Amino acid sequence: MFLRIINRAEEAVICILLVLTTLIVFIDVVMRFGFNTGFMWSQELTLHMSAWFVLFGSSYGLKVGSHIGMDAFIKLFPRFVRRCLSSIAALLAIAYCCLIFYGSWIYLAKMKMIGIDLEDLPIPAWIAHSPLLFGLGFLIIRLLIILWSIITDKADGFKHADEAKESMALAEEIEAEEAL
């Protein structure tokens, strides 16, 4: 249940960010080139939304395995050793994300204390930058899920995109179609 809520929330945030960023940029381009006017705040808003998109997208990429893996060395080892090395990698990634999460918490607290607004929008900077915590939180959760799947022997490493394997499958598919 918890994971389903996390998945839905993550996908919803990514979809909303993608649609809103595209819409704002499109409207601003039409306004600038069509009517020689525009919104002063659109660049700052889309910049922040793009940063949020990266944070949530990296977590989603871990979930679906779209990150490119560099595992040629790891694949040389037996499954048990791969699991151990992948567990170490997951623990290091979790520790790193926790450090950045903690630093973000301190940064946001100081921004709230100082009371700085964004340059072009009347929004407190700490609110605009708060997706740091949510994005890193999702990333930590994804890494914990990966670590658990390695510990419980459901996986021996991170899921990732295997471009060489996909390219070979496409080449074989094209070859099969040409043979017909």
What pLDDT digit, counting tens, does each position of 35-91 carry? Answer: 888 888 888 899 999 999 898 899 888 888 877 777 777 888 898 998 999 999 999
Domain range for residue 175? Answer: 2-179
Domain count, the chain: 1
Mean pLDDT across the chain: 88
Give, in degrees to the nearest 5, the angle at Cα 16 between 65 and 163. 20
pLDDT for 143 beyond 90 = yes
Q: What is the pTM of this model?
A: 0.81
| Mean pLDDT across 115-128 | 90
